[in-house]
Chain A
Amino acid sequence: MNPSPPPVPAAAAEAPAAYAVPRGVPLWDIFVTFLFIGAISFGGGVVAYLRASLVLKKGWLDEEHFLSALEISQALPGLNATNMSIIVGDRLRGVAGAIIAFAGMTLPGGSMVLALGVAYAANAHNPYVNAALVGVGAAAVGMLSAVTLQIGHKQLNQVLNVAIIAATVLMVSFLHISLIWVLLTVGPVAVFLFRPRKGDGEAAAGKSGEAS
């Protein structure tokens, strides 16, 4: 996934704060950068746009810290796009940076979807609008299934993963169990099944002060 990560000096790995976050990035620059990403990213591809912009074009993060921010965004509640904007904005300019990056990320799509929503509410009985939206809905199903498969296909060759996927789908879609209970039951079980074991990851175990 990560082509040729730069070798991490031992000192840097011990002290993450040692990496140079660019200081004094102007707030307007943060805003405009995220506004641009928010305006051109479509359909779940936002991570690619973020990387192209933040790592390659602006150089605000290196690959390693980009992946670390992405890891936080994915493990925690919320959308990758907005979580990433908040984390990166915070690292660049603190709370003000986080707010301005989030605002930039959500402004284009948010104002457009609100405008469409107002138009939709006013045209709920228009047969042309409804026919078009039936087509859009069907297309959305195709897109969601493609994105799910793109993300999931790597996991389909491991029985444990398939079992967790199947249990989740069964509970949510067929037994209609509330998401909170699914997260509280399947989540800990899944993490436990992938728990660190003796013998794997000696290197990782070496630095784990917090592991209980």
Chain B
Amino acid sequence: MNENLSVLGVFSLLSILAVGGGAAVLPETKALVVETHHWLNDDQFRDIYGLGQVVPGPNMLMVIVIGYHVTGFVGALMAFLGFFLPAGAISWAASRVWDHFEGSPWRRALQQGLAPLVVGLMASGTISIARTAIDGRLTVVIAFAVFAGVYCVKKINPALLVLGGGLVGLALLSGTGAGMPPS
């Protein structure tokens, strides 16, 4: 099968499954990209997720980089279109008919029921990244520090904390071969 179409297909599926946003679809993204298709290994997935954290806008723009790894710039475009077009089209269509459901008690049930499901999926997303990203004492310290920073200090730009984590890694880990691909 043509790899470009394969990228388009995988990310289109993820797009439709992305109920609750990017973090909710993270475990499934990793399962498909790393385990099913072997496009990336664990460490590359973690690294690319990290790249998504340091740029503005939705973190899941990192799908562009995954596509780029598979088939270059065409793959990048396929991943982008696949991940954003189907969900975008659904939202567009739904917003035009949504007002008909104004006041339906089921709308409230839908929101209340989906809210904990989404939180569960976000927690699973955190776990899936943590399984490769938490490796050694320093990574635990960085994760706790950023957690405390984001959770306790309200007015702080999270991207700065993520970049700070990168600087700490650079300063303390660069001699150790941490994160190096096995050669």
Task: Please indicate the chain B residues that have their CB under 8 angstroms from the CB of A151 in the complex.
Answer: 118-119, 122
Cα distance, A154 to B6, chains bound together (Å): 40
Q: Establish whether residues B76 and A114, one from each chain, have CB atoms under 8 Å apart when the complex forms.
A: yes
A141 in the interface (beta carbon within 8 A): yes
B34 in the interface (beta carbon within 8 A): no
B87 in the interface (beta carbon within 8 A): yes
Indicate which residue in A125, A138, A149, A196 contacts B105 across the interface (CB closer than 8 Å). A196
Q: Establish whether residues B84 and A102, one from each chain, have CB atoms under 8 Å apart when the complex forms.
A: yes
Q: Establish whether residues B159 and A43, one from each chain, have CB atoms under 8 Å apart when the complex forms.
A: yes
Tell me the count of chain B residues lying within 8 A, CB to CB, of chain A. 121
Indicate which residue in A77, A142, A207 contacts B16 across the interface (CB closer than 8 Å). A77
Task: Please indicate the chain B residues that have their CB under 8 angstroms from the CB of A105 in the complex.
Answer: 57-58
Q: Establish whether residues A204 and B105, one from each chain, have CB atoms under 8 Å apart when the complex forms.
A: yes
A1 in the interface (beta carbon within 8 A): no
Q: Establish whether residues A187 and B104, one from each chain, have CB atoms under 8 Å apart when the complex forms.
A: no
B178 in the interface (beta carbon within 8 A): yes
Q: Establish whether residues B53 and A139, one from each chain, have CB atoms under 8 Å apart when the complex forms.
A: yes
A4 in the interface (beta carbon within 8 A): no
Task: Please indicate the chain B residues that have their CB under 8 angstroms from the CB of A118 in the complex.
Answer: 68
Cα distance, A165 to B123, chains bound together (Å): 8
A56 in the interface (beta carbon within 8 A): no
Q: Establish whether residues B88 and A144, one from each chain, have CB atoms under 8 Å apart when the complex forms.
A: no
> Given that A117-B51, A131-B170 are contacting pairs, would A168 and B98 also be in contact in the complex, using a CB cutoff of 8 Å?
no
Q: Establish whether residues B179 and A133, one from each chain, have CB atoms under 8 Å apart when the complex forms.
A: yes
Q: Establish whether residues A109 and B17, one from each chain, have CB atoms under 8 Å apart when the complex forms.
A: no
Cα distance, A75 to B126, chains bound together (Å): 21
Cα distance, A169 to B117, chains bound together (Å): 9
Indicate which residue in A42, A82, A125, A142 contacts B142 across the interface (CB closer than 8 Å). A142
Closest 8 A/B residue pairs (Cβ): A135-B169, A139-B165, A168-B120, A109-B57, A78-B87, A142-B146, A117-B65, A196-B105
18 contacts between A and B (CB under 8 A): A76-B19, A79-B84, A87-B92, A116-B51, A116-B55, A124-B181, A128-B174, A134-B133, A134-B178, A140-B49, A141-B146, A161-B115, A164-B116, A165-B119, A165-B123, A191-B106, A201-B105, A211-B105
